[in-house]
Amino acid sequence: MACVGLKIGDLRHRLVLKTPTSTQDASGQVTRTFDTHSTVWGSLSPVSGREMESAHQISELVESKAVIRYNSAIKSEWRIEFDSRTFEILAILDFEERKVYQTLYLAEVK
């Protein structure tokens, strides 16, 4: 699993958690935007090897994973931004159901 042997220094990426917001313009069109919820420390890495095989059971689109400290507010509708990249959250796993770390399986938004 992703969190076995995790050291605090492994959480070295600043990840921006974004929540969806729907707004309606004057003509009645609904536009979906994402607002910043918070910025957290985490690790971001590509999914490969044996993890990829397991991840494909979640979705064929899984490309990356992020590990962050547990946050009960996070929903799969949210997005994550890192540098100039944006990721959709495909799955949220609570490592060992202990509410310490979460693994987020991600697909990059192109």
Q: Which domain holds residue 59?
A: 8-108
Give percent above pLDDT 70 in the chain: 83
Q: pLDDT averaged over the chain?
A: 85
Place of tokens 């069109």: 29
Instruction: Give dist(CA 27, CA 108) in Å, integer.
Output: 31
Q: Tokens representing 74?
A: 């996070």
The pLDDT tens digits of the residues spanning 48-79 come to: 655 555 555 555 677 899 999 999 999 999 99
**CA-based radius of gyration for the chain:** 15
1 in any annotated domain:
no
Count of structural domains within the chain: 1
2 in any annotated domain:
no
The pLDDT tens digits of the residues spanning 23-53 come to: 888 888 998 999 999 999 999 998 865 555 5
The pLDDT tens digits of the residues spanning 76-93 come to: 999 999 999 999 999 999
